Amino acid sequence: MPNTMQRICFILHVKKDRLEEYKERHTKVWPEMLEALRETGWHNYSLFLRDNGMLIGYVETPDFRKALAGMAAKEVNDRWQREMKEFFEDPEGRPADRQMEPLPEVFHLD
Amino acid sequence: MPNTMQRICFILHVKKDRLEEYKERHTKVWPEMLEALRETGWHNYSLFLRDNGMLIGYVETPDFRKALAGMAAKEVNDRWQREMKEFFEDPEGRPADRQMEPLPEVFHLD
Q: Which domains does chain A have, with CATH numbers?
A: 6-98 (3.30.70.100)
Please report residues of B whose CB lies closer than 8 A to that of A41.
none
Q: How many CB pairs under 8 A join A and B?
A: 93
Q: Which residue from B minimizes the CA distance to A48?
A: B105
- pLDDT tens over chain A, length 110 residues: 556 899 999 999 999 999 999 999 999 999 999 999 999 999 999 999 999 999 999 999 999 999 999 999 999 999 999 999 999 999 888 999 999 999 999 999 99
DSSP string, A82-99: HHHGGGB--TT---GGGS
Residues of A in contact with B104 (CB under 8 A): 48-49
Q: Is the dihedral of CA B22, B60, B65, B30 positive or negative?
A: negative
Per-residue pLDDT of B15-25, as tens digits, reads 999 999 999 99
Rounded to two decimals, what is the model's pTM? 0.95
In chain B, residues with a C-beta closer than 8 Å to the C-beta of A106 are 22-23, 26-27, 47-49, 55
A110 at B interface, C-beta within 8 A = yes
DSSP state of A67: H
- Cβ contacts of residue B80 below 8 Å, gap of 6+? B29, B30, B33
Of chain A, the end-to-end C-alpha distance in Å amounts to: 9
Select the residue of B29, B42, B105 nearest A48 (Cβ to Cβ): B105
User: Which value does ipTM take for this structure?
Assistant: 0.94
User: Looking at the predicted structure, is the pLDDT value of residue B69 above 70?
Assistant: yes
Cβ neighbors of B75 (< 8 A, separation 6 or more) are none
Min Cα separation B27/chain A (Å): 7
For residue A54, list chain B residues with Cβ-Cβ distance below 8 A. Answer: 11
B1, B22, B103 member nearest A50 (Cβ) = B103
Residue B3, pLDDT above cutoff 80: no
Residue B39 contacts A where some CB pair is shorter than 8 Å: no
Phi then psi for residue A14, to 5 deg, are -90, 140
Residues of A with a known catalytic role: 26
Chain B within 8 Å of A56 (Cβ-Cβ)?
A: yes
